[in-house]
Amino acid sequence: MDALQRREKEIFDTLGAIRGHSFVVIGGYAVNAYTLPRFSVDCDIVTGNPDHAHQIGELLIRHGYTHEKTPPTAPYHGSFERYEKRIEKDFTVSMDILIGHVMDRQTDSIFSWEWIREHSAARLLRGKTIIEELKVDIIDIDALFVMKFICARATDIRDIFMLAPDIQEREWIKKEIIHRYDFDERLKWIKEKVQSKQFKDGLQGVYGIIHPRVFEKHRKALLEI
């Protein structure tokens, strides 16, 4: 098992170990429940209150994680805890526990625990580098699309590109985005990025080779949002 496989297996083992607690998976690992899986060394979960976060944190520490300071480059504002575990000399994995809500650092958009909990369900999570499956609570595809559309970092745009053909309620998505941010401004930004020459190379660097017809299907679905 190589380093990437060991790191992903650690995330799966960790999610399995904390599965009895109340949390919802968001971020890159949530994306893996809906489209071609991509690898990530970070796993983001949301929980309802500090007590739940503390219980999960104690369990992580018992499994070899250490409680770390909030990094200045974190994509979130607000209350969250980071735990890291060293797998080898030069490799770590991290678990971010967001408490009570998710607040995007760039836009200050807020997604409450209640909103995330309402728009989530138990779903099957599949590995990218390991043949493993795990059933955990994962945010719904439409709510995940809303969060990543608003955040719109490079990794978020790649993710919504891959999610776009499978979203369910486009009007609901648009309403939720408008409620929190300037929809037209965000869509313009995303269109510019998706239509750039560098976008496809970056996308395939994360998700693997994508057939031109599949790429066009996804591009069309996203730009028609």
Output the tens digit of pLDDT for each of the chain's 225 residues.
677 788 889 999 999 999 989 999 999 999 999 998 887 878 999 999 999 999 999 999 999 999 998 776 677 777 889 999 998 777 899 999 999 999 998 899 999 999 999 999 999 998 888 888 899 999 999 999 999 999 999 999 999 999 999 999 999 999 999 999 999 999 999 999 999 989 999 999 888 889 999 999 999 999 888
Task: Tell me the pairing of strands 91-99 and 42-47.
Answer: parallel
123, containing H or E segment: strand 120-126
- Looking at residue 90, its pLDDT comes to 76
> Are 43 and 99 contained in the same domain?
yes
Asked whether residue 197 falls in the same domain as residue 121, the answer is no
| Residues 158 and 203 occupy one common structural domain | yes
- pLDDT the model gives residue 1: 66
| Same structural domain, 159 and 130 | no
Mark which of 110, 139, 168 sits at the end of a domain.
Answer: 139
**94 shares a domain with 120:** yes
For residues 159 and 124, membership in a common domain is answered with: no
Structural domain containing residue 159: 154-225
CATH number, domain at 95? 3.30.460.40
Return the axis-axis angle of helices 141-151 and 154-163, rounded to nearest 10°: 150
Residues 62 and 115 in one domain: yes
Kindly state whether residues 110 and 165 are assigned to the same domain. no
Domain count, the chain: 2
Instruction: Please check whether residues 73 and 129 belong to one and the same domain.
Output: yes
Together in a domain, 109 and 192: no
pLDDT of residue 121: 97
Dihedral sign for Cα atoms in the order 199, 203, 206, 209: negative
Q: What is the pTM of this model?
A: 0.93
